[in-house]
């Protein structure tokens, strides 16, 4: 074979086995590096999505709390004393739903905080009708089955009304919630009349002592429309949104480490200074006179990210260097619900809500 032909064959020769193996090793190294980077990126992305979801869910929950709290008390203020100062109308309450007596002449507050260690329960009650801000005098006598008034009251069938003791500032008599079953218009000779037959769900139960309301005592009646009772409480680490009247509930927020609430109170019923108090000691059971001092409420929530951080070499985590703290007391730790709490991020948020219906 000529020298020129041999040179031609050598120039057409492919890769050697060694060169192929070296290339495969390099490709494998690059693939492993890429896979590791992809895993790290995916984990970071998952944690980022989890943190973003926690932030959105927490913001939504706080907005729900704020909306309900800002409405609390509608329908339960408006009666005025001799100095034209608005008074809390219902120190006690008669309220039932179907066969269940929810309040049987017992103490009542349209906002009630039940205190616990790092976890409180909040009850908020409010009417749906804007007419709940204006009560009118009764005519004659009223009670569990009917009521009359000389003034125009725009209550319709199936709406709720509430009978209110006239001397609201010091009365020991309870208010009475009734469902309207018929309305008889006023004439020149007869007042506007509302009937409360037991066909309405709010008229079925019999209370221990149903008071009689009279015109001579300056007792009153107000339109509630519908009555909303919202309860927020923790069940484990789940913040529940409950409606005690109907007995329904739903999940508002998960992975909650702490749910706190405090009253913003004034020195007395006519002042506008403000201090924050837990629902303990004097404020553990809110009476009518204490309700007149409430001006605002604040909520604090601590939540945990659902996704843990990937441990570092050696198995340690650096997501959180210390345990979360009480929303209102940074010196008090809140115990997380997981042993490897350092692997999780925690978020705390507070909101202050002025109680517009408590202040006239």
For residue 64, the number of C-alpha atoms closer than 13 Å in the C-beta half-sphere is 19
pTM greater than 0.75 (yes/no) = yes
Task: Using the predicted structure, report yes or no on whether residue 167 has a pLDDT greater than 70.
Answer: no
More confident residue, 86 or 280: 280
Measuring CA to CA, how many Å separate 227 from each of 110, 120, 126, 162, 177? 11, 23, 6, 10, 9
Q: Are 173 and 211 in contact (CB under 8 A)?
A: yes
pLDDT digits (tens, 9 = 90+) for 149-162: 978 888 899 999 99
CA distance 257 to 300: 11
Position 12 scores a pLDDT of 55
More confident residue, 41 or 106: 106
More confident residue, 332 or 42: 332
Highest mean pLDDT: which range of 51-65, 78-92, 182-196, 230-244: 230-244
Task: Using the predicted structure, report yes or no on whether residue 84 has a pLDDT greater than 60.
Answer: no
Q: Which two tokens stand for residue 18?
A: 């060694």
Q: DSSP label at 324? A: -
Highest mean pLDDT: which range of 20-24, 36-40, 78-82, 275-279: 275-279
Measuring CA to CA, how many Å separate 128 from each of 68, 133, 202, 229, 251? 11, 10, 16, 11, 23
More confident residue, 269 or 330: 330
Q: Are 144 and 162 in contact (CB under 8 A)?
A: no
Q: Are 85 and 77 in contact (CB under 8 A)?
A: no
Task: Using the predicted structure, report yes or no on whether residue 227 has a pLDDT greater than 60.
Answer: yes
Exposure string of 258-277, with b = 16+ CB inside 10 Å and e = fewer, is: bbbbbbbbbeebeeeeeeee
Position 72 scores a pLDDT of 95
The whole-chain average pLDDT of the chain stands at 85
More confident residue, 89 or 346: 346
CA distance 330 to 15: 69
């Amino acid at each position: 074979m000529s020298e020129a032909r041999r040179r031609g064959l050598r120039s057409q020769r492919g890769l050697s086995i060694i060169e192929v193996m070296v290339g495969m090793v390099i490709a494998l190294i690059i693939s492993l590096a890429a896979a590791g980077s992809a895993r790290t990126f995916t984990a970071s992305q998952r944690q980022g999505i989890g943190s973003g979801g926690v932030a959105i869910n927490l913001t939504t929950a706080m907005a729900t709390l704020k909306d309900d709290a800002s409405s609390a008390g509608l329908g339960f203020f408006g009666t005025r004393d001799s100095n034209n100062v608005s008074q809390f109308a219902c120190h006690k309450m008669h309220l039932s739903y179907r066969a269940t007596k929810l309040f049987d002449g017992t103490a009542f507050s349209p906002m009630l905080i039940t205190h616990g260690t790092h976890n409180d329960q909040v009850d908020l009650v409010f009417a749906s009708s804007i007419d709940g801000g204006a009560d009118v005098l009764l005519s004659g006598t009223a009670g569990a089955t009917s009521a009359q008034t000389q003034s125009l009251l725009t209550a319709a069938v199936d709406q709720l009304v509430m009978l209110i003791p006239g001397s609201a500032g010091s009365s020991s008599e309870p208010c009475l919630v009734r469902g309207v079953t018929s309305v008889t218009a006023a004439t020149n000779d007869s007042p506007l009349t509302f009937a409360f037959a037991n066909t309405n769900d709010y008229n079925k139960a019999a209370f221990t002592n149903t008071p009689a309301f009279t015109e001579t005592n300056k007792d009153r009646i107000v339109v509630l429309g519908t009555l909303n009772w919202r309860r927020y409480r923790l069940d484990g680490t789940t913040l529940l949104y409950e409606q005690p009247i109907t007995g329904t509930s739903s999940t508002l927020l998960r992975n909650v480490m702490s749910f706190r609430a405090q009253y913003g109170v004034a020195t007395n019923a006519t002042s506008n200074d403000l201090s924050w108090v837990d629902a303990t000691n004097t404020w553990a059971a809110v009476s009518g006179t204490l309700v007149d001092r409430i001006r605002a409420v604040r909520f604090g929530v601590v939540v945990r990210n659902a996704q843990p951080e990937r441990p570092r070499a050696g198995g340690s985590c650096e997501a959180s260097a210390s345990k979360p703290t009480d929303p209102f007391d940074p010196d008090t730790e809140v115990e997380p619900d997981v042993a490897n709490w350092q692997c999780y991020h925690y978020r705390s948020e507070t909101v202050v809500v002025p109680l517009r219906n408590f202040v006239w």
